[in-house]
Structure formats: structure tokens, C-alpha cells
Amino acid sequence: MNKKTLALIAVVVIIIILLLLKGCDFAKKPTGEEEGVIDLAQYRTPFINANIDFSCQILEDDTILQDNEISKTKLNESYTNHLLPVDDDLLMIQILDLYENDSTVIQEIRSGVKEC
């Protein structure tokens, strides 16, 4: 595998690790029946851009992946800089669930990483 593919895989792994380390409870995922349902589509572009940003950081300095705390901090910074709701674990889980296997999103991230 090439370095960019490894970076993309690392991003998905780091996202999952981040969510698990924050103590997320997957069983409490909102069903959409609650008042004030959030349109997750608004997070598509920020999600893509944040993952491109984080992947580019990894390509520039692959030691980021060697330390979970640094990885978590850098990923949170990327998400915060791209206005993702990092303080809302349940919403972040929904965003991840929606886009982590979306082939179009993955292709856009790969294309963006090529420009690093």
C-alpha cells in the first residue's frame, strides 16, 4: 500500500479510537424522532476537509500516529478548525456513521490528500 492509502486508513482508525476514548455510548445514538433533528448533510464538507487536513499532517509528520494523545489532539484540532461538533460525542458518531463508508466522501478525501 502506498503512503496516502495508509494515511486514509489511519484517519478512519484514529476517528474510531477518538470516539471510543471519549467514552461514547453507541447504544444512545439518536433515532431521529427527537425534537430538533440535525441535518447531518451540513457536516459533509467539513468532515471531508478535516480528514484531508489531518491526513496531510500525517504525511508531513508520520510520527503523529505513534502517539495516541498527539493523534487525538491533532484530529480534534482539525475537526474544530473545520467547525465539526467535537464536543458532541453522539453527533460525531452519527457523522462518522454516515460518511466513513461513503465511497464519494472517501474518493474526495483521497483526491484532496493527493494535493498535500
Query: Considering the domain boundaries, does residue 32 fall inside one?
Result: no
pTM of the shown model: 0.71
- What is the mean predicted confidence (pLDDT) over 67-93? 94
**Tens digits of residue pLDDT in 45-77:** 999 999 999 999 999 998 988 998 999 999 999
Tell me the residue type at 63. Answer: T
Query: Considering the domain boundaries, does residue 62 fall inside one?
Result: yes
Query: Considering the domain boundaries, does residue 36 fall inside one?
Result: no
- What is the mean predicted confidence (pLDDT) over 106-111? 95
pLDDT higher than 70, residue 6: no
Residue 69 phi, psi (nearest 5): -65, -45
pLDDT for position 14: 72
Query: Considering the domain boundaries, does residue 9 fall inside one?
Result: yes
Which pLDDT band holds residue 7 (cuts at 50, 70, 90)? low
Query: Considering the domain boundaries, does residue 86 fall inside one?
Result: yes
Give the number of domains in the chain.
Answer: 1
What is the Cα–Cα distance from 28 to 4, expressed in whole angstroms?
Answer: 34
Query: Considering the domain boundaries, does residue 18 fall inside one?
Result: yes
Query: Considering the domain boundaries, does residue 33 fall inside one?
Result: no
Average pLDDT, the chain: 83
pLDDT for position 62: 87
Query: Considering the domain boundaries, does residue 82 fall inside one?
Result: yes
The range of the structural domain enclosing residue 83 comes to 3-24+42-114
Burial readout 9-37 (b: 16 or more C-beta within 10 A, e: otherwise): ebbeebbeebbeeeebeeeeeeeeeeeee
Reduced to 3 states (helix: H, G, I; strand: E, B; else coil), residue 48 is: helix
What is the Cα–Cα distance from 52 to 109, expressed in whole angstroms?
Answer: 6
Helix segments in the chain, DSSP class H: 3-21, 44-60, 68-81, 89-99, 103-114
Q: Output 19 or 11, whichever has higher pLDDT.
A: 11
pLDDT higher than 50, residue 28: no
